[in-house]
Amino acid sequence: MEKKILILTDGKAGHENQSRAFVRALGREADVVRVKFKSGFRKAMSYFLDRLGLASLEGIEGLEGVGGDYAAVVGTGSGTFYAVKALARRLGVRCGVVLYPRGYRMSGFDCILAPSFDRPAKSANVVEIPANLVAADAGFYEAGRAAFLERHVPKCDAAAVIVGGPNKCSTMTADWMRSELERVFADCKGLEMWVTTSRRTPPEVEAVVDSFPFDYKLIYSRDKFNPIPAFVTLAKRLYVTAESTGMLSEACTFGTAEVFALDNLNPGNHKFRRFVENLKRNGHLDGSRKIDMSEQFAAAKRLMGL
């Protein structure tokens, strides 16, 4: 039986899912352990210690007694980078991370899957990827599609809208949402119209969404059902708010829909803007060309010695 890979997670679903996708791409099963710096000071010290070439697990919660015969250790996000490197050194195995470990030394990581929008340094252990990794498979989409069809049976092709929420690089107002939905409805005449909001969607924006005559409507503040697997696999067109990098990554990787970004990004050359522009440049937005990371995964597998 092949050895498992140990995932260190910071507890953020978006990060853990990318680690799971990484492990799946490596063709292995995983165990998952939650880790956390004991304080902000301990995290700050980890950058200093790493610069000195020191890998200490002191100050990291969750690793007491962790051991075993693993093939490798992986993690995603700044809350796991140092722990991954330190634990892999203690276990004598290779390690890989997803996202660019800015502030830490590149050496010591056997493989870094770094999104191109982070503008990673060129290095033999860096594999650039065009989007976030998505931990989903055919069974996940099949189950999600079946659950959706119990709630709504389409009568014709559909356009689906996925609404996220504002962040430090984007805004989302009621007026902006109204204008975008008016445009989408005008562009999608003859199609069924579906929509879902999210936990990040402001109440005033949800109210605007609720006022439009969608054929299927999921308002997150009222109903926590997840229609996105069905949207991705069933819709002819997908519209996703541009700050939702995870959803754009999923929409541009799976299904057959044409994918469009609803641009709510703030001005400036920030990573969200670079992400959207890279997707457009490579034909994944405003079209239906799907992302294929098979070459990147093959390179990662070589670097991880698997």
Closest CA to 219 of 246, 241, 239, 195: 195
How far, in Å, CA of 281 to CA of 151, rounded? Answer: 37
Residue 274: how many CB atoms within 10 A of its CB? 15
219-263 pLDDT per residue, tens = 999 999 999 999 999 999 999 999 999 999 999 999 999 999 999
Instruction: Count CA atoms within 13 Å of residue 301 on its CB side.
Output: 14
Q: Tell me the CA end-to-end span of the chain in Å, nearest whole number.
A: 14
Average pLDDT, the chain: 95
Average confidence (pLDDT) over 181-187 = 98
Q: What is the pLDDT of residue 64?
A: 86
> What residues contact residue 264 under an 8 Å CB cut-off, 6+ apart?
166, 170, 171, 172, 176, 241, 242, 243
Q: Please say if the pLDDT value at position 75 is more than 80.
A: yes
Distance in angstroms (rounded) separating the CA atoms of residues 148 and 270: 36
Contact between 70 and 3 under an 8 Å Cβ cutoff? The reply is: yes
pLDDT of residue 137: 78
Q: What residues form DSSP beta bridges with 262?
A: 241
Per-residue pLDDT for 136 more than 80? no
Domains and CATH numbers, the chain: 5-130+293-303 (3.40.50), 138-281 (3.40.50)
Supply the pLDDT for residue 19.
97
